[in-house]
Amino acid sequence: MEGHRAAAPLSSRARARGAVIGAFVVVAALVPATATAAGTQEVDAAFPYLCALPSGQQPAQVRISAVFPERAGTGEPVEPAGVTTTVELPAEAVADLAALGAATARPATRLTVGVAQDGATAEATWRGSAEPVPLPGSGRLALTTTGDVASVTGHGSGDLTFSAGSLAVDLALATADGTAAGTGALTVDCSPAAAGEQEPLATVPVGAGTPEPDGTPEPGGTSASPGASGSPSARPDGPGDRQGDRAPEVAEAPPGGTAADREAPPCRYDDAHPSTSASLNAYVTGYSNVAKLKGASLLPLSCVLIEQGPTDIEFFPDFTGGHLTQHSEGTLRHRGRAQTPPFEATFLTFGFTPTKATMVLEQTGPMTMDAHGETSFVTLYTELETRVRIPLVLRVTALEVNGVPLEVGARCRTKGPLRSPEPEPARFPGDHLLLTGSSTHQPPDQPVGYLLSSGGQLTGEMTIPAFTGCGSGGENLDRLLTASVSGPGNYVKQTQGQTCAVQVFNPDECTEDLQPLEIPVPER
């Protein structure tokens, strides 16, 4: 970006914005929408799978499309683009979901992709998400997801082969009025129909005649296809170290683990915010779609301090069970303020103009966490749904369009909090983000789904309000940001980690200084 500005010096912000708008007009007129980068191979393949549904194992078809490079230089990352996964479930699956009371299903996919080079193997996870899909009245159900995937770097030269493996389809189920259907979530596990095999998806030759990233041919390379016998030879990477002994490197998106494994913002109680006997702390992260920009923003790893309320039970008349309720409250915590750490998001405005924004989510009121459900004293089966409500204002602290900084000023933010549909507006008035998680528990098994104490996934949908106060020096950027970002239909998927109960030290849940041990992994 510095090089871009040096190559085309700008005398003023107005001139910079004029250049961006001019580029939009010219490129929109001259570049065909179906243009494909040179030196790529397009993959569009369908494979038979078997999926485990409530009614039993059923055949399904999985179609995967992506764009791979034709070749790659030694040490050059291979990053598939335009990845789309379509799962066609049979009519029996539709009947299973309808039996749960579902009218729509919002899919998120996790495809395991095997990567191999000269006998060494690794695995990558391709994640995708989509908006809710209405269930058809009859016939098959097609679920299509998209998402960014990890890059893969081979060692030395030799074909880098990608293969489709197991697939998990997470379904967020809703009734016609938008409330959770059944437990609110169902995971469908699928595997290739040919048991024990991973279906070949694409092959990218690496090295051996392939130009290096700087354009210089690899020493000793030829113009012939590598490995004419069908297996490229391995070159030693060092004394006694052959590439075949080293698995391809998968650059996964933020790895999970513990606070000791990677950096995390501080998350502890202190004199300014002392703990009580009911205090918990946890890390949260996730993704939020920005519908207008057809992209997703990674929500930063953030600390939340929680005051857990008691669990109340209202017995059934026959005392065979009861209704459970629990009310808790929490607050975001970053450097003494109720907000997330700053985070960056980069999108293609107008479909091609790179726009980078630095943002903060500020909590402007109480965060409430209300769980309700039922338990049976006979079967010991328990169902719980938790609704987390929090008023959050989105503040923009920096903006860069096509490499050109635009001054947003110190007061650039949404006019009000992010807004979700509220099923109980009389009880919970005002604009706020609403996230919902569900869990079930059938002893002796462990609980499945979201619980306040152990964490899990929370999902919701929000409207981003219009922006105000954006710009300085006489420039008003409110309309630019509002037109680019604001609007309804933005899906949110948040993951909370295991909490740390700070009054009762547990080395499996807390660090020695009473911070959460678990770092959750964001999922699309």
Give the global pTM: 0.55
427 and 502 inside one domain: yes
Q: Residue 269 is part of which domain span?
A: 257-519
What is the pLDDT confidence band of residue 239, given thresholds at 50, 70 and 90? very low
How many CB atoms neighbour CB 99 within 10 A?
Answer: 12
DSSP character at residue 206: B
What is the pLDDT confidence band of residue 82, given thresholds at 50, 70 and 90? confident
Joined tokens for residue 74: 């030694």
Question: What beta strand segments (E) does 54-119 contain?
Answer: 56-69, 81-89, 104-117
342 and 464 inside one domain: yes
- pLDDT by residue (tens digit) across 254-284? 434 444 444 688 998 988 788 898 999 999 9
Q: Which residue has the higher pLDDT, 148 or 428?
A: 428
Does residue 74 carry a pLDDT above 60? yes
- pLDDT by residue (tens digit) across 246-255? 778 876 544 3
Highest mean pLDDT among 147-151, 294-298, 503-507 belongs to 503-507
Residue 227 covered by a domain = no
Distance, CA of 130 to CA of 147 (rounded, Å): 9
Cβ atoms of 353 and 402 within 8 Å: the answer is yes
Distance, CA of 488 to CA of 482 (rounded, Å): 12
In total, how many domains does the chain have?
2
pLDDT at 153: 86
Does residue 228 carry a pLDDT above 70? no
201 and 287 inside one domain: no
Q: Which residue has the higher pLDDT, 122 or 331?
A: 331
What is the pLDDT confidence band of residue 141, given thresholds at 50, 70 and 90? very high
**Mean pLDDT, rounded, for 113-137:** 87
Q: Percent helix, strand, coil in the chain (nearest 5)?
A: 10, 50, 40
CA atoms within 13 A on the CB side of 261: 11
Residue 223 covered by a domain = no
pLDDT at 351: 52
**Mean pLDDT, rounded, for 445-451:** 90
Does residue 140 carry a pLDDT above 60? yes
- pLDDT by residue (tens digit) across 202-220? 999 988 554 444 444 433 3
- pLDDT by residue (tens digit) across 482-506? 988 899 999 999 999 999 998 888 8
End-to-end Cα, the chain, rounded Å: 28
Q: Is 261 left (phi over 0), alpha (psi -120 to 50) or beta?
A: alpha
Q: Name, in order, each residue with C-beta under 8 angstroms of 492's C-beta and a sequence gap of 6 or more.
A: 286, 287, 288, 289, 299, 433, 435, 459, 460, 461, 462
pLDDT at 312: 95
Candidates 392, 395, 397, 391; CA nearest to 413 is: 395
What is the pLDDT confidence band of residue 234, given thresholds at 50, 70 and 90? very low
**Mean pLDDT, rounded, for 54-70:** 91
How many CB atoms neighbour CB 187 within 10 A?
Answer: 13
Cβ atoms of 188 and 171 within 8 Å: the answer is yes
Does residue 226 carry a pLDDT above 90? no
Q: Which residue has the higher pLDDT, 114 or 247?
A: 114
What is the pLDDT confidence band of residue 352, given thresholds at 50, 70 and 90? low
pLDDT at 119: 84
Least confident piece of the model among 84-93, 94-103, 246-255, 316-325: 246-255
99 and 179 inside one domain: yes
Phi, psi of 16 (to 5 degrees): -60, -45
Report the share of the chain in percent with pLDDT over 90. Answer: 42
Residue 306 covered by a domain = yes
178 and 310 inside one domain: no
What is the pLDDT confidence band of residue 148, given thresholds at 50, 70 and 90? low
Report the share of the chain in percent with pLDDT over 70. Answer: 80
Cβ atoms of 163 and 198 within 8 Å: the answer is yes
192 and 281 inside one domain: no
Residue 136 covered by a domain = yes
What is the pLDDT confidence band of residue 127, given thresholds at 50, 70 and 90? confident
pLDDT at 264: 85
- pLDDT by residue (tens digit) across 99-108? 888 899 888 8
82 and 158 inside one domain: yes
pLDDT at 197: 62
464 vs 151, 365, 390, 432, 459, CA distance in Å? Answer: 31, 17, 14, 11, 16
Domain end call among 200, 234, 251: 251
What is the pLDDT confidence band of residue 377, given thresholds at 50, 70 and 90? very high
79 and 153 inside one domain: yes
262 and 201 inside one domain: no
Distance, CA of 452 to CA of 278 (rounded, Å): 12
Least confident piece of the model among 77-81, 209-213, 441-445: 209-213
206 and 276 inside one domain: no
Residue 106 covered by a domain = yes
pLDDT at 208: 58
Question: Any idea of the CA torsion for 85, 90, 94, 99, to the nearest 10 degrees?
Answer: -130
Domain end call among 227, 251, 275: 251
Provide the mean pLDDT of the chain.
80
297 and 201 inside one domain: no
**Mean pLDDT, rounded, for 408-426:** 93
403 vs 132, 356, 406, CA distance in Å? Answer: 35, 8, 10
Q: Which residue has the higher pLDDT, 137 or 184?
A: 137
Domain end call among 251, 272, 303: 251
**Mean pLDDT, rounded, for 112-133:** 87
Residue 33 covered by a domain = no
Residue 18 covered by a domain = no
**Mean pLDDT, rounded, for 46-60:** 91
Does residue 354 carry a pLDDT above 60? yes
CATH number at residue 167: 2.60.40
Residue 333 covered by a domain = yes
296 and 155 inside one domain: no
Distance, CA of 272 to CA of 336 (rounded, Å): 8
